[in-house]
Amino acid sequence: MTSKEQYLKAYDQQLRTDAETPSAIDVTRLGPLRLVTFAGGRGFITYQDLGGTHHIPTLVTTALDHFRAIPEISSVEWKTRGHDNAPGLHEALIAHGFVPEDPESIMIGPLEALAQEVQLPAGVTLRKIEGEADIRAMSAMADAAFGDPASTRMADSLLARLARDDGMELWVAEANGQIVSCGRLEPVPGTDFAGIWGGATLEPYRGRGIYRALTAARARSALSLGKTLVHSDSTEFSRPILERAGLMRVSTTTPYNWSR
């Protein structure tokens, strides 16, 4: 197999299991689907392989009915992958009120490729954070970086995860005491992988190597934990950075979102 095929096989076998949702508060199986409930009223639907089933419309209906019956659930994400054999899934999701977001690239590669030292701009420092004030400041910065309304939802979710001690690490870059970039590291128990997620950098600080340095710091931390591979769902902002560091685009993923 080519490197791409090997990476994709490892991704499907190691990551598309319960390892994908370490912070779930409930997981219900529905045929090949895993119906996941997260804190904060968020539902999530994923699977390892639909096998080209002819019952996809029925699966979509039943899965959505499951979440409709839970009053606390306000939104549901169905996570699709571009390499899956799932004929009719897009049409079934649209018919049930799911709205597709922009596709992202599934990036995989050796952690060592990311772990090289990167020269930071003058006055910029990196650190791992755990305190509530830092986490809320980080989340507010990420909202601003993505142009989203300020919200406490992400900070509340991250604080709940840290309390469960599931291995997640939060890293930030600061300039003159202000958080200007951030990202998560999620070592995946029982696998070769660590995930790099949540990358965000304020616009005035982009293109200066800060995100690359923050990614390298997370990679070194993952290597110290015995992980060898890294994966990430990357936007077009971060994909070129990861490609230059040796990661490979093995497929795409598109979230479809439903709101009550």
pLDDT at 1: 64
Rounded Cα distance between 39 and 45, Å, is 15
Alpha carbon distance 209, 179 (integer Å):
15
Q: Is the CATH number of domain 109-251 3.40.630.30?
A: yes
Confidence of residue 72 (pLDDT cuts 50, 70, 90): very high
Alpha-carbon gap, residue 118 to 137, rounded angstroms: 25
Average pLDDT, the chain: 92
Determine the pLDDT at residue 16: 94
- Is the pLDDT at 166 greater than 90, yes or no? no
What confidence tier does 52 reach under pLDDT thresholds 50, 70, 90?
low
> Residue 251: what pLDDT?
97
State the pLDDT confidence band at 60, using cuts at 50, 70 and 90.
very high
The pLDDT of 8-18, averaged and rounded, is: 93
How far apart (Å, rounded) are the C-alpha atoms in residues 25 and 48? Answer: 20
Least confident of 66-80, 191-205, 233-247: 233-247
Q: Which tokens in the block code for residue 33?
A: 């689907």
Residue range(s) in the chain whose domain bears CATH number 3.40.630.30: 109-251
Q: What percent of the chain has pLDDT over 90?
A: 72
pLDDT band at 244 (very low <50, low <70, confident <90, very high): confident
- DSSP codes joined into one string, 50-73: -TT-TTHHHHHHHHHHHHHT-TT-
- At residue 250, the pLDDT reads 96
Convert the pLDDT of each residue in 123-164 to its tens digit: 999 999 999 999 999 999 999 998 888 888 889 888 988 888
d(CA 161, CA 65): 27
Q: Residue 131 burial (CB < 10 Å; 0-12/13-18/19+)?
A: exposed
pLDDT tens digits, 95-120: 999 999 999 999 999 999 889 888 89
Average pLDDT in the 212-239 region? 92
Token pair of 25 as six digits: 């508060």
Q: How far is 40 from 28, CA to CA, in rounded Å?
A: 17
State percent of the chain over pLDDT 70: 99
Strand-pairing partners, residue 109, are 230
pLDDT category at 42 given cuts 50, 70, 90 is very high
pLDDT reading at 47 higher than 70:
yes
CA 169 to chain centre: 13
User: Model pTM?
Assistant: 0.83
Task: Using alpha carbons, select from 249, 260, 229 the residue that is nearest to residue 112.
Answer: 229
Q: Is the predicted pLDDT of residue 85 greater than 80, yes or no?
A: yes
What sign does the dihedral 142-240-219-123 (CA atoms) show? negative
Mean pLDDT of 218-245: 90
- Phi/psi at 172 (5° precision): -135, 155
Q: What is the mean pLDDT of residues 235-257?
A: 90
Query: Residue 53 pLDDT more than 70?
Result: no
